[in-house]
Amino acid sequence: MKDNISAGIDQIQEAIIALESGGGDVNSVLEALGLHKVKVPSAQLVALMDMLSDGITPVTEELISSLLAISEAHKKFLFSLAGFLDQGSAAVDTDAARKSAPGPETDTFKEEAVSDSPQEEVPAEPEDQEDQKKAAKDIHEEESEAREKTPEPEKKTPADQKKSSQAISSIRVSTQQLDSLIELVGKLMVTYAVIAQVGTETTSKTTTSLSELDKIIRKLQSEVDEIRLVPLKQIFMPMHRLVKSTSQKVGKKIRFNIIGEELALDKTLVECLNEPLVHLLRNALDHGIEPPEDRAMSGKDEVGNVTLSAWRKGDFAYIEVKDDGKGLDADKLLQKALERGLADSEKEYSNEEIYEFILQSGFSTASEVTDISGRGVGMDAVLTAVRNTLDGEIRINSKLGEGSTFTISIPLSQSVNEGIVDSLITTVGEETFIIPSRDVMEVYEPEPKEFTDLPDGRETVSIRGKIYPLIRMHSIFDFPPPAEDSITKAIVVKMGSTGAAILVDDVLRQQKAVVTGFTLPVNNIYHLPILGYGMMGEKDALVIDVETLITSMEEPAQ
């Protein structure tokens, strides 16, 4: 029995090792380890497993080590069931598992072990096997580290020597160096702000110098932003494998086209686009494109078309997933929404409003649970990623029998979470707060008659004839209320399709601020709508999280 268990686990480990050299099938390994049926109550975690299964997530050395550790845990579990588990057996040792698996790397290691290891001259006692294993592992790690620190000399051909004499057109820069450069630029901008605020004490010559310094800073910031740009090709091209594997699972013929993969966006945006695109493409393949026989009956080509495209217009980037499938049936979607209590039976809905129901949590049109559909991982995961992570929006267009189009729009302004941002400097009581300008529509000075109390206790304010929910910053931070005769300012903000008016005591000015996150989980401890703190010259101030403010305001209304 013990030999059977070991033999079975050895086969799994051989398949895992084969993944590292580009061979083998990751889905077979996941199935052998039972990972393909792991139930996790998180759409994001399910998406991670999907991306690994579809070949989008690369097989790294860390992943191989983790899979080997899981296989060793399986061995220990089976030994326990069979009553064979003794002290020291089935230890989780991924390096040992690598050495035991066949392959060219293993053979090389064995030769090194025979020639270099002193352990063969003094045989170890059985009780010292674990110590010997650890010592051998430490020696191997030290040798590997030494080899990494001593790069092998490259043999230069005449062509290579000619290239080396020419100018280098590009270099690799680590993200850590970029972040450090951005931080320095931010400090430079803060210093400029301090000098600029001296005001009347400056001479005309100083004013001219400050103007020139401002131009240099803006140009430097623009250059730094350019460095961070990466082409969408990095995430678009792996989608070919996703489409191929998914189409095979659902038994459909697909012609996949990519347009605009050369478009370059900020590195953070490109990374965050991966997950929503996986969901949109899987949705198009499973729900959008019809089976070949159905397409033939309706006079269509048996091969369905799915197009992934990207373009930039103004200050927004647009990512689109389009298919020529059966389209969305507005009547069926509305009926499903009514059954789930998402729609009001007495309200008239446009087709565009009905389509948005598929973005609601738990909404699924799948009749049965498969590897692709009905797993509780709906389009709400796309909406969450687009709005919360990318600060974008998603629009759905469809025509029954002709296909559907999902368009993601993303603002290209820099993320507020960290970096240099345009801001409004405001005061609430004796405190100063920073509100990111990208969320601000206008600043308004309301009159007392424009405030209205609702029956449920909430307040609204009328600004140029439009009613906005009112958020009093004094109440949010539990500050003493302002005097009744004081003049306050309402900052109109908008997040997606929702707007609100944030009431502050005063708006001092608009300027750039350097936003930095907290090193401690302050938000989790105090549950305040704060992104971090911002450096703006004379002192630091807390940065308001407008999205959290609006979200907390919407909850009582639902």
Mean pLDDT within 253-258: 94
Q: Which residue has the higher pLDDT, 60 or 108?
A: 60
State the pLDDT at residue 129: 44
Q: Please determine, for residue 333, whether its predicted confidence score (pLDDT) is greater than 70.
A: yes
Q: Please determine, for residue 367, whether its predicted confidence score (pLDDT) is greater than 60.
A: no
Specify which residues 231 forms β-bridges with: 264
Specify which residues 49 forms β-bridges with: none
Unique residue bearing structure tokens 């689109």: 320
Helix (H), strand (E) at residue 217: helix 204-227
Please state, in angstroms and rounded to a whole number, the distance separating the CA atoms of residues 448 and 445: 10
pLDDT band at residue 470 under the 50/70/90 scheme: very high
Number of H helices, E strands in the chain: 20, 18
Helix (H), strand (E) at residue 426: strand 419-428
Amino acid found at 218: R
State the pLDDT at residue 481: 86
Q: Which residue has the higher pLDDT, 52 or 95?
A: 52
Specify which residues 304 forms β-bridges with: 254
Cβ neighbours, 10 Å, residue 112: 12
Percent of the chain at pLDDT exceeding 70 = 72
Mean pLDDT (the chain, rounded): 76
Cβ neighbours, 10 Å, residue 131: 11
> 120-124, 183-187, 232-236, 552-556: which has the minimum mean pLDDT?
120-124
Q: Please determine, for residue 323, whether its predicted confidence score (pLDDT) is greater than 90.
A: yes
Angle between the 61-82 and 2-20 helix axes, to the nearest 10 degrees?
170
Mean pLDDT within 7-20: 84
- Does residue 245 contact residue 294 with C-beta atoms inside 8 Å? no
Ranked by mean pLDDT, the top range of 86-100, 120-134, 142-156, 492-506 is: 492-506
Please state, in angstroms and rounded to a whole number, the distance separating the CA atoms of residues 220 and 275: 32
Q: Please determine, for residue 301, whether its predicted confidence score (pLDDT) is greater than 90.
A: yes
Q: Which residue has the higher pLDDT, 290 or 421?
A: 290
Dihedral of the alpha carbons of 526, 531, 535, 541, in degrees to the nearest 10: -40
Q: Please determine, for residue 217, whether its predicted confidence score (pLDDT) is greater than 70.
A: yes
Q: Please determine, for residue 320, whether its predicted confidence score (pLDDT) is greater than 50.
A: yes
Mean pLDDT within 227-240: 86
Size of the chain, expressed as the number of residues it contains: 558
Q: Where are the alpha helices (DSSP H) in 360-485?
A: 380-384, 473-476
pLDDT band at residue 163 under the 50/70/90 scheme: very low
Mean pLDDT within 245-267: 90
Please state, in angstroms and rounded to a whole number, the distance separating the CA atoms of residues 383 and 394: 7
Class of residue 178 by CB neighbours under 10 A (exposed 0-12, middle 13-18, buried 19+): middle
Mean pLDDT within 520-541: 73
Q: Which residue has the higher pLDDT, 90 or 460?
A: 460
State the pLDDT at residue 321: 95
State the pLDDT at residue 135: 47
Q: Please determine, for residue 124, whether its predicted confidence score (pLDDT) is greater than 60.
A: no
Please state, in angstroms and rounded to a whole number, the distance separating the CA atoms of residues 461 and 480: 21
State the pLDDT at residue 229: 82
Q: Which residue has the higher pLDDT, 418 or 237?
A: 237
State the pLDDT at residue 170: 59
Q: Are strands 540-544 and 431-436 parallel, antiparallel or unpaired?
A: parallel
- Does residue 366 contact residue 374 with C-beta atoms inside 8 Å? yes
What is the C-alpha radius of gyration for the chain, rounded to an integer number of angstroms? Answer: 30
Q: Please determine, for residue 407, whether its predicted confidence score (pLDDT) is greater than 90.
A: yes
Tokens of 371: 């590897």
Q: Please determine, for residue 429, whether its predicted confidence score (pLDDT) is greater than 70.
A: yes
Mean pLDDT within 193-215: 66
For residue 428, the Cα-to-chain-centroid distance in whole angstroms is 34
Class of residue 155 by CB neighbours under 10 A (exposed 0-12, middle 13-18, buried 19+): exposed
Q: Please determine, for residue 133, whether its predicted confidence score (pLDDT) is greater than 50.
A: no
Tokens of 67: 């899979």
Cβ neighbours, 10 Å, residue 401: 13
Q: How far is CA 425 from CA 422, 428, 504, 508, 536, in A?
A: 10, 10, 10, 5, 9
Could you read off the pLDDT of 166-183 as tens digits, one per residue? Answer: 444 555 677 777 777 777
Q: Please determine, for residue 40, whether its predicted confidence score (pLDDT) is greater than 50.
A: yes
Q: Which residue has the higher pLDDT, 56 or 112?
A: 56
Please state, in angstroms and rounded to a whole number, the distance separating the CA atoms of residues 87 and 540: 58
Please state, in angstroms and rounded to a whole number, the distance separating the CA atoms of residues 467 and 462: 4
Q: Please determine, for residue 558, whether its predicted confidence score (pLDDT) is greater than 60.
A: no
Ranked by mean pLDDT, the top range of 100-109, 256-265, 343-352 is: 256-265
Q: Please determine, for residue 482, whether its predicted confidence score (pLDDT) is greater than 70.
A: yes
Mean pLDDT within 187-193: 72
Helix (H), strand (E) at residue 511: strand 506-516
Q: Please determine, for residue 115, whether its predicted confidence score (pLDDT) is greater than 70.
A: no
Please state, in angstroms and rounded to a whole number, the distance separating the CA atoms of residues 214 and 207: 11
